[in-house]
Amino acid sequence: MILKGIYDTILSRCEAAFGLLAGRRLWLLWGVALAIALSLFMSFPRISFFLGNDSQIVNFWPVLERQAADPLAMSGDQYKDQSSHESKLAFRLTLPMTMKVLHVDWRGMLVIQYGLGVLLLALVGKIAMDLFRDRIVALASVFGVASIYAGKAAFLQLGGMGDAFAYTFLTVAVAFRSPPVIIAAIVAACFTDERAVIASPLVLLYWAMRNSDGSKPSWFNLQTITVASAILIAGVIRLVLMFGYGLHIPIGAGKDVGLSVLPLTLPTLQYELPHVLAGLWLWPLVAGAILVRSRWWFSLLAMLGATAAVVGAATMVFDVDRSLAYSLPLVFVAMAVAAWAKLGSQELRSIAILGFLISFAFPVNSLLGSVSNRYSEGNLLPVELVRFYKYSTVR
């Protein structure tokens, strides 16, 4: 009874706090700003990157700048080591093409990346609001996503990995019904990172659930057909680049991609999988229960299968954590299921708030400054300020 009382008190206090914020003018902008501030305090980026003398940070911007000079070239030093990250960039053209078209360097790309990070969180609020018409659920969802890696990547990844771009593009394809917007977002995501191709079916599944009348999924509607068409378009473009321009990526033994890395990556899965969505796994758990109760077996298998594809692909590369984060659209799929199931507002608020609290207590960082992953982790703000001072005083 004591624990239940503590639980009820925490949830009611959080709901009251979100209620105060929800009553403000420009409530969503305030929510995004506060969510980012809280997120940055818990996981502040390694700003010693800007000093240029922190060897713990990986910097891929020089590689992208060389790629931007000739995006379709397959020659150069970066392609000689087939186990390197650089050799896997042939089809990741969104960032170098953006640099080339806009005539910006890595600094300009970071500004764009920060803007996309803000946009992603704002779109999370829009998606939740469209589904539930509840500002408290929308705000709690924003804070929840801001507390997991997919919502922090735009602010943590300073070295040009590009995941924040792909996460945002996939979220755009969920947030808007317009076919041209969906096609542009899916294609851009697919050419930011191949993992977005594997995650894109989750977007299709979202629209099947989103357009459902509650009696059955809507597998054939304008948005699902558009998503499928966008994936097909991306595939055709990729084939043209392969056979017309000779672009390829190395896969297999000795390439650090494929089944050969499973003995090293599978042991980390037991930690990384619950960590990637943290408390937001509550949404898929609730959605799974609803689908079982409704006997929508094919929908359940589709959700599990699409998620398994993302997880399977993540285990075949060394950077398991950021690869698993491509499962972010699964949260939106689960929200869409909860929406047509017409859960009560109190139930929805409890799921969203508890999901945020668990994610907040499970931060994406290394509290003691470990460098197990040199481009996707942050530190508590005080810790990072100490690190920055250390590198800023190096002579």
- pLDDT tens digits, 79-107: 555 555 566 788 999 999 999 999 999 99
* 81 belongs to a structural domain: yes
Q: CA end-to-end span of the chain, whole Å?
A: 59
Distances (CA, A) of 16 to 2, 93, 140, 179, 321: 21, 45, 12, 38, 34
* 368 belongs to a structural domain: no
* 22 belongs to a structural domain: yes
Question: Has residue 56 got a pLDDT over 90?
Answer: no
- DSSP secondary-structure letter at 192? T
pLDDT for the residue numbered 90: 84
The pLDDT-based confidence of 72 (bands split at 50, 70, 90) is: confident
The pLDDT of 279-304, averaged and rounded, is: 95
The model's pTM is 0.93
Q: Report the SS3 class of residue 23.
A: coil
CB-neighbour burial class of residue 268 (10 A; exposed 0-12, middle 13-18, buried 19+) = middle
Q: Of the ranges 35-49, 157-171, 293-307, which one carries the lowest mean pLDDT score?
A: 35-49
* 376 belongs to a structural domain: no
Looking at the 3D structure of the chain, how many domains does it have?
1
Q: Please report, rounded to a whole number, the percentage of residues in the chain having pLDDT higher than 90.
A: 64
* 216 belongs to a structural domain: yes
Amino acid identity at 38 = L
Measured in whole angstroms, how far is the alpha carbon of residue 102 from the centre of its chain?
A: 24
Q: How far apart are CA 298 and CA 113, in angstroms?
A: 37
- Residue 44 sits at φ, ψ, to 5 deg, of -85, 140
Question: Has residue 379 got a pLDDT over 80?
Answer: no
Amino acid identity at 158 = L
Question: Has residue 335 got a pLDDT over 50?
Answer: yes
Q: Could you list the residue range(s) of the whole structural domain that residue 236 is in?
A: 2-42+59-363
pLDDT for the residue numbered 2: 83
C-alpha Rg value of the chain to the nearest Å: 21
Question: Has residue 119 got a pLDDT over 50?
Answer: yes
* 49 belongs to a structural domain: no
* 206 belongs to a structural domain: yes
Place of tokens 């996981």: 43
Kindly report the average pLDDT of the chain as a whole number.
89
Question: Has residue 172 got a pLDDT over 90?
Answer: yes
* 50 belongs to a structural domain: no
Q: How far apart are CA 196 and CA 192, in angstroms?
A: 8
The pLDDT-based confidence of 45 (bands split at 50, 70, 90) is: confident
